[in-house]
Structure 1
Amino acid sequence: MMEIGTRYEPQNLEMKWYRVWLEKGYFTPKGTGPKYSIVIPPPNITGRIHMGHALNITIQDIISRFRRMQGYDVMWLPGEDHAGIATQTAVEKYLATQGKNRRDFTREQFLEIVWDWANKYRKEIKSQIMSIGASVDWTRERFTLDEGLSRAVRKVFVDLYKKGLIYKGKYIVNWCHRCGTVLSDEEVEYIEEEGALYYIKYPIKGEDDYVVIATTRPETMLGDTAVAVHPSDERYKHLIGKTAILPLVGRELPIIADNYVDPSFGTGALKVTPAHDPNDYLIGQRHNLPFVDIFDEHIIVNENGGKFKGLTAQEARKAVVAELEEQGYLLKIEKIKHAVGHCYRCETVVEPRLMDQWFVSMKPLAKRAIEAVENGEIRFIPERWKKVYLNWMYDIRDWCISRQLWWGHRIPVWQCQDCGHYNVSEEDPTSCEKCGSQNLKQDEDVLDTWFSSALWPFSTMGWPEKTADLERYYPTDVLVTGFDIIFFWVARMIMMGYEFMGEKPFHEVYIHQLVRDKYGRKMSKSLGNGIDPLEVIEEYGADPMRFTLAILAAQGRDLKLDVRFFDTYKKFANKIWNATRFVLMNLDDYEKTEIDISRLKLVDRWILSRLQKTVEKVTKALEEYDFNIAAGEIYNFFWDELCDWYIEAVKSRLKTDEKKLVQNLLVYVLDTSLRLLHPFMPFLTEELWTKLPVDGESLVIAKWPEVRKEFVDQRSEERFEQLMAIIRGIRNVRAEVNVPQSTKVATYVKGILNEEEIGYVQFLGNVEKVEFVSERPQGSATAYVSTDLEVYVSLGELVDIGSEISRLRKKVEKLKADAEKFAKKLADENFLNNAPEDVVEETREKYRTMTEQIERIEQIISDLEGNRA
């Protein structure tokens, strides 16, 4: 038989097997059998994958390998996203190191540089995805800027424009002056910061009176065009219709009533700056107010800021406050904490600006996408994300899709420089469709990256052409993604799927967990607490990393990841390796035969029945996206039941006339176990499985195990589990009275055990002899008690009973003191309500373990005291 090395060395086998799988074309679907399709959330080409990517890819690969083994025609489509803002920012930073910026190049020259950069990083991303073991079909790899997707993007833009769903208008948008582009609402991250409320007196025209407003942004008062109060606010009813004078500027401001104003915030009077706040913008529209823009694109005060022209926003704030104070308008400054919007890419404070931009009208597109989730056509897992999705969709705003970048899908609009007409076309026009002029200029902006991503499920399959892939693999079966892009991506894919395919893009959306550090903090560069998956793979191997992520991936609960976990599951990989090595070393003269149930011993019937239960539970858990449960079931079976009990129990039988039976049992159980483990640990299992004397060329295309009902034997399970409890009880007694496990002990049994069962107790419990009694003998301690069976361990010759009782009493006192601390914690409502869930659960487990140990020791003390009496 084939043998394997003495050590599990993942680095020697991972890329070897990945190359084999690619060469054999195992990941390319064959077009036969029921289809199962997934599109990968395309990673950005801006750097290395992080642990969140590793979790996402691992989960998708588990699903893909599982379904492939079940006989599905699996098409898992890979690709990368051009990441407009992030990529252009990265390239501009690179150019800055050479003392250059993009304005030193023509647009075409700059794009050549970015394409070279993008192609390099696409290869790196691909290599990283491969290192995790992703069984994606690389023959179908796509890029959001490749020719086919670009054609799809143009068609969608043109179709939506012709339907009146894309328009250009002057609206308040989120402006990042560092990136030099607009951001969507979802690209703005709100961070709690120390700030201040400035209380400013606005004089009432023609009266010796004033109204006090409170603002966090006093510099924007230069653009105020009104003061607003709530219509039912009794404090200000007498002022409605009057005029306030804007301090420092002298502009007359109407005092208006609007239901938006919150009477409880600040003073209840609101300065209205329509050009610099999205809510003020809406007030300005409702009341037909003028819009005064005080900043240029670099957020420098422009000519509308009067004497403050040329100052940055921060400089203007200081100067405005200083002058307000000098002129007696500043009443007070109050320190507060408030949420400030930042660019999700560069963390610059975002400035609301009034700009001409391209928008998609979303409410008409959202209607069908809302219905699909409400009626269950598309299912969110866990279900709580359904409510999050719907809440956002009910309140959806128009989507600003233009970005002031060079890298991306350029907006397919050409404005006629003679008549001003917008020519919107899938092909570059040569003349104006309205006046015939050839004096056309294409819009300088590009589309938001998420515009092309929204088409991903169908554009990657060849749409707008009616391809074979679209016919067979659309809609896809499941989308696996993080909650943070439900609005960026998931919702938009659903809307575009219904609009352009007339059908949902996927049946189910599995929202995976956020990977946090061991303290529950979000991983970030600023905290320096990130864990690099590529470094983990290099040190521990891809399989231990994958298994760690899977066994922690409980639905609805973020992962708290400690690097020590990788070592734990590398030990599991070693256990799998060593167990397989043991089996291979004992397969001399092996002949495959059918397992004869009539010849099976109790332990054989137990392991076969337990294996069927494990197959059933792992399969069910994977079908329900309970990856942690599936991983936990196969882990417990393989380590605890197969290795620690079964293999130990049958070692001696390999030297008897039962050898061939035991060999066949070991091969069957190990074969089935490796199949169950394959979606989680593909490299290790492939290496080991191909050494077994089983039919088939690769686990990738091997059949998923099915429950063999003839092997299910509940009675044998229960009987052997009773024996396991007896053996554990004997071991526990040894441990509590400090008798080494290697020391043979005598046991007494009150009840019935047959010869085979006695043999297990003796061999696995390291028991010298078993004697049947009617009462507990002197000098013994209780190891096991049930309604029909009692087992005692003889201690008389092994310990000094008096000193042992004294030692155990002290141990119990200490355990009770420790247990009391945990009990107090668990009785504290504040702890239960405020402590992290896993901390509460860990405390419960420690308390339970301690109380069980206390009961066990107190029983031993009672036994020993009875012996002395």
Structure 2
Amino acid sequence: MAMEKTFNAAEAEARLLQAWEDAGCFKAGANAKPEASTYSIMIPPPNVTGVLHMGHAFNNTLQDILIRWKRMQGFDTLWQPGTDHAGIATQMVVERTLAETGQPSRRELGREAFLEKVWDWKEHSGGTIINQLKRLGASCDYDRTAFTMSGAPGAPAAEAEGNFHDAVIKVFVEMYNKGLIYRGKRLVNWDPHFETAISDLEVENIEVAGHMWHFKYPLANGATYTYVEKDEDGNMTLEEERDYISIATTRPETMLGDGAVAVHPSDERYAPIVGQLCEIPVGPKEHRRLIPIITDEYPDKDFGSGAVKITGAHDFNDYQVAKRGGIPMYRLMDMQGAMRADGAPYGEEAGKAQAHAKGAEFTENEVDAINLVPDHLRGLDRFEARKAVVKEITDEGLAVMVEVTKTVKDDEGNASEVTEVVPYVENKPIMQPFGDRSKVVIEPMLTDQWFVDTAKIVGPALDAVKNGDVKIIPESGEKVYYHWLENIEPWCISRQLWWGHQIPVWFDADGNQYCAATEAEAQAAAGEGVALTRDPDVLDTWFSSGLWPIGTLGWPENTDELAKYFPTSTLITGQDILFFWVARMMMMQLAVVDDIPFDTVYLHGLVRDAKGKKMSKSTGNVVDPLDIIDEYGADALRFTNAAMASIGGVLKLDMKRIEGYRNFGNKLWQSHILAEMNGVFDVDCSARPEPSHAVNKWIIGEVGRVREQVDKALADFRFNDAAQSLYAFFWGKVCNWYNEFTKPLFQNDDLRLETQQTMGWVLDQSLTLLHPIMPFMTEELWANRDRAKMLIHADWPTYGGELVDEAADAEITWVISVIENIRSARAQMNVPAGAFVSLVQTEADEAARAAWDNNEALIKKMARVEALSEADATPKGSVAIAAKGATIVMPLADLIDVAAEKARLSKKLGKIQKELGGLKGRLNNPKFVASAPEEVIEEARENMALREEEETQLNAALARLAELD
């Protein structure tokens, strides 16, 4: 049955995927040779709520390329799939579903009933992204699909068999008992919408329009000092008596929680008042707190007034200053971001805080209980409180005032300038943190949380990279890794959610902690009759996913899979989670099982649009990989992903590129149709032939070369080099040259069979080498003939440069070069495309003459040459054709009007040079480079490079024309 004219991806992909799965092609160990080495990859588990996006498609394409490559080489491979339970994301989805369907809210349902709803949602909707990965062709062992909440209490039967929950709880208990996990009060990112701590990765810092207010903090007891400002040369520019110190803030509502005002130690302006007290200018005067003026390296004396208010419970920088200086920290807000309404009356609490500021000893609980919020601000949303605080300070005259000049018009339209004194408020853009899911402003919050004492477990993770046990690619990732781990802070692992692994710690009435795997064990430790209450918090999902390598392999049981595949081989992931996931897996595996989790980490950046912009719904440039697969097929998307995967490069997804690789697939398909038309599939092509003709010898050698190139590129994680080598080989060598060269050979009875065998073998090798990147089309074409096994399990070749026949390679390389140079000269000189040209040869060595004689028909046909004649001298008006070992020229007198061609090219060159001048002017303008968007600058640079290339080509053509005179 004749081949279809085109590849029907929509029909074939689903059918081939099912065939692979039915045959067990993806299972761990499939196609492994006896005594084979293992090769394993753990998929970075996508959120169970997720759908396939371009980042997933890119990341998983690279993993699948390696897995398919290693599987064909005979390794015992495992590609472990699975999903993360995604605490916040999943809880958000289920709560939203409850609201949309009119069901009781989470709090109305209660914890147990709500978790039943979550498990029900997971069972019916949680497998979306896994099914979408299959459409990409990802050859994971789906029978082993893991879930980071498998085996948790309340899990349905489908999830009850897994033991990931047991692993998580075991690790927590062991680390707690070793003193590696503790509960303490620290500053965390707090999401007021979800009412939970969140990680830095779940915070989006977005530039918004902001305000910076300047306020006066009066000195205690009416004290004054001489404030002096000097210029760079030390000359005094301002001298005045002040009874205040001024600060600037973008968050006035936090002033109530100030613990100090800090200035730089070298700031001479404030030297007279360092150590004195100043008054926070908010709230009833009789209860206002006094705070000390201190020195610290943190303030920038050249920014604003040089004085900084230190609010340790609501700012991460201030928190560090407060810790260094022993400055008290007061939490002002409740869990929803409103000003606190709990605690004793305002005056009493402020009195306690005042005593604290003067050095009185307070316990941690007493400090937390202090409520410094005046009655009229209690319960107000933080942004409403901000407005009230600003108004109060301004009304009292404690805002810093400045003179501004305005132009006003009277009733008749006459303009005049007036000077006003107004509060000093800077309108300026600020970076504000938002929850990536809640979209509300994140509040730094001092709360009680559970922490891993990372300083105690970070050492082995650092050493593993420094001593080469683990390699990070690109090397720049190692520097980032070292920086993060050498400056590591305690890791907050608790979340105030219901969906997740509940922390296995119980408390008695006195606050004593009992950590155990089960409540029965905790009760036994506490004693009979002691009432216990379990900590309601759950563990951060990064804690459980930090155990992904061992948890998915059955630990803490000593399973066969754990013994065989751990440590795993390669981790491919985004550089944005190098710290949040990669480093934590390193620390956790080394702390738990004393071994590295993988030996190589390949990091990549974000997939961006064609102009290098980050994809986002707000800018409307998000690309859905499933839409691409629907239009172009999975193979085109996969080849594009591989082709743009340069180490450390920017990942720009260009739809034209996808279309181009779809066309590459069409070339592969059409080459097989050509082979079918010439009877290639009617002969045995399984063994590598030993042909007599140079063309067939040459292409076999090119196969050997490209196999070596692909293997080296994949071994070095240079996926783009592998893709480029295959593209250049198949389109450039097979399609553009070999397929054309074989047409006369198929008409030669003496060469027909060897050419059929050679073409069939070359196509089979091409399918094999392309399969890891383009699995669907290659498998479909492979099935056109009877095979012992599917292509996915075909043997990966080991041949290489030994296939190159030096004589044949030199001959065909000469032929290709001559044809290309004739075509180039024709194009440069604007010779009519349909015209046949005559060539003149004045000298040639033996190799050049043999190459021409052996391939004369091919050269004439493909370069549109009528004849080659010999002459003693070069005819006037000829252009040289580069040819190794020969002097060949193309007479042009009867083909083109030299004068008209010069005029045409000169005019075109002038236009190009004018465009170049404009582009160079823009790029050499510092204002343009400083202010224009990066994509605009990059586009200008690309345009300039193209124009410079055109200029070079036109100058070369004009130089050739000049030689004709």
- TM-score normalized with structure 1 length: 0.94
- Residue 689 of structure 1: how far off its partner (Å): 1.6
Distance 1:143 1:774 in 2: 81
- Residue 237 of structure 1: how far off its partner (Å): 2.6
* Deviation by residue 1:388-417 (Cα, 9 ceiling, x = unmatched): 111010111001111111111111112224
Distance 2:297 2:800 in 1: 69
Distance 1:805 1:294 in 2: 80
Q: Which amino acid aligns with 1:228?
A: A
Q: 1:193·1:338 contact (CA, 8 Å) conserved in 2?
A: yes
The aligned residue for residue 669 of structure 1 is: 762
* Deviation by residue 1:796-822 (Cα, 9 ceiling, x = unmatched): 444455544544444454455556667
* Deviation by residue 1:249-277 (Cα, 9 ceiling, x = unmatched): 31122333344444334323222223222
- Residue 341 of structure 1: how far off its partner (Å): 2.0
Which of 65-74 and 25-34 deviates more? 25-34
1:248 to 275, 282, 290: 282
Q: 1:27·1:136 contact (CA, 8 Å) conserved in 2?
A: yes
Q: Counterpart of 1:236 in 2: which secondary structure?
A: helix
Q: 1:14·1:683 contact (CA, 8 Å) conserved in 2?
A: yes
- Residue 684 of structure 1: how far off its partner (Å): 0.5
2:953 to 839, 853, 856: 853
| Structure 2 counterparts to residues 84-483 of structure 1, below 5 A | 84-99=87-102, 100-147=104-151, 148-208=163-223, 209-249=243-283, 250-303=288-341, 304-306=372-374, 307-331=376-400, 332-417=424-509, 419-429=510-520, 431-483=523-575
Q: Counterpart of 2:331 in 1: which secondary structure?
A: coil
Matched, 1:37 2:40: yes
Q: 1:205·1:244 contact (CA, 8 Å) conserved in 2?
A: yes
Which of 850-859 and 518-527 deviates more? 850-859
- Residue 525 of structure 1: how far off its partner (Å): 1.4
The aligned residue for residue 359 of structure 2 is: none
Q: Summarize the Cα distance change of 1:287–1:627 in structure 2 as closer, same or farther, 3 Å threshold.
A: closer
Distance 1:411 1:639 in 2: 58
Distance 2:924 2:317 in 1: 47
The aligned residue for residue 781 of structure 2 is: 688
Matched, 1:506 2:598: yes
State the aligned residue count.
860
Distance 1:760 1:845 in 2: 36
Distance 1:258 1:823 in 2: 48
Matched, 1:772 2:863: no
Which of 486-495 and 743-752 deviates more? 743-752
Q: 1:47·1:121 contact (CA, 8 Å) conserved in 2?
A: no
1:637 to 729, 743, 752: 729
Q: 1:726·1:783 contact (CA, 8 Å) conserved in 2?
A: no
- Residue 69 of structure 1: how far off its partner (Å): 1.3
* Deviation by residue 1:543-602 (Cα, 9 ceiling, x = unmatched): 0000011111111111111222211111111010000121122226524486664x5323
| Structure 2 counterparts to residues 396-795 of structure 1, below 5 A | 396-417=488-509, 419-429=510-520, 431-587=523-679, 589-592=682-685, 597=690, 599-657=691-749, 658-692=751-785, 695-752=787-844, 753-754=849-850, 755-778=853-876, 781-782=878-879, 784-786=881-883, 788-795=885-892
Which of 472-481 and 406-415 deviates more? 406-415
Q: Counterpart of 1:547 in 2: which secondary structure?
A: helix
- Residue 724 of structure 1: how far off its partner (Å): 1.8
Over aligned residue pairs, what C-alpha RMSD do you find?
2.5
Q: 2:547·2:585 contact (CA, 8 Å) conserved in 1?
A: yes
Distance 2:149 2:460 in 1: 28
Q: Which amino acid aligns with 1:190?
A: N
Q: 1:544·1:681 contact (CA, 8 Å) conserved in 2?
A: yes
The aligned residue for residue 419 of structure 2 is: none
Distance 2:686 2:340 in 1: 88
Q: Summarize the Cα distance change of 1:596–1:35 in structure 2 as closer, same or farther, 3 Å threshold.
A: closer
Distance 2:269 2:661 in 1: 67
Q: 2:502·2:539 contact (CA, 8 Å) conserved in 1?
A: yes
Q: Counterpart of 1:526 in 2: which secondary structure?
A: coil
Distance 1:106 1:414 in 2: 19
Q: Summarize the Cα distance change of 1:706–1:477 in structure 2 as closer, same or farther, 3 Å threshold.
A: same
Q: Which amino acid aligns with 1:320?
A: V
Which of 342-351 and 573-582 deviates more? 342-351
Q: 1:725·1:784 contact (CA, 8 Å) conserved in 2?
A: no
Distance 1:347 1:84 in 2: 17
* Deviation by residue 1:287-337 (Cα, 9 ceiling, x = unmatched): 544443221111111233212112211111111111111001110222333
Q: Summarize the Cα distance change of 1:357–1:268 in structure 2 as closer, same or farther, 3 Å threshold.
A: same
- Residue 639 of structure 1: how far off its partner (Å): 0.4
What runs of 5+ residues in structure 2 fail to find an aligned partner? 152-162, 224-242, 342-371, 401-423
Q: Counterpart of 2:571 in 1: which secondary structure?
A: strand
Distance 1:410 1:629 in 2: 47
Q: Summarize the Cα distance change of 1:135–1:593 in structure 2 as closer, same or farther, 3 Å threshold.
A: closer
Distance 2:164 2:854 in 1: 68
Q: 1:729·1:783 contact (CA, 8 Å) conserved in 2?
A: no
Q: Counterpart of 1:171 in 2: which secondary structure?
A: strand
What runs of 5+ residues in structure 1 fail to find an aligned partner? none
- Residue 749 of structure 1: how far off its partner (Å): 2.5
Q: Which amino acid aligns with 1:238?
A: P
Which of 838-847 and 9-18 deviates more? 838-847
- Residue 489 of structure 1: how far off its partner (Å): 0.3
Distance 1:352 1:323 in 2: 24
Q: Counterpart of 1:110 in 2: which secondary structure?
A: helix
Q: Which amino acid aligns with 1:727?
A: I
- Residue 661 of structure 1: how far off its partner (Å): 0.3
Q: Counterpart of 1:777 in 2: which secondary structure?
A: coil
Which of 704-713 and 362-371 deviates more? 704-713
Q: Summarize the Cα distance change of 1:838–1:716 in structure 2 as closer, same or farther, 3 Å threshold.
A: farther
- TM-score normalized with structure 2 length: 0.85
Distance 1:831 1:279 in 2: 34
Distance 2:634 2:430 in 1: 43
- Residue 215 of structure 1: how far off its partner (Å): 1.6
Q: Which amino acid aligns with 1:676?
A: L
Distance 1:215 1:708 in 2: 68
Q: Summarize the Cα distance change of 1:800–1:370 in structure 2 as closer, same or farther, 3 Å threshold.
A: closer
Q: Which amino acid aligns with 1:214?
A: A
Q: 1:822·1:847 contact (CA, 8 Å) conserved in 2?
A: no
- Residue 614 of structure 1: how far off its partner (Å): 1.1
Q: Summarize the Cα distance change of 1:830–1:280 in structure 2 as closer, same or farther, 3 Å threshold.
A: closer
Distance 1:786 1:654 in 2: 28
Q: 1:432·1:440 contact (CA, 8 Å) conserved in 2?
A: no
Distance 1:757 1:822 in 2: 47
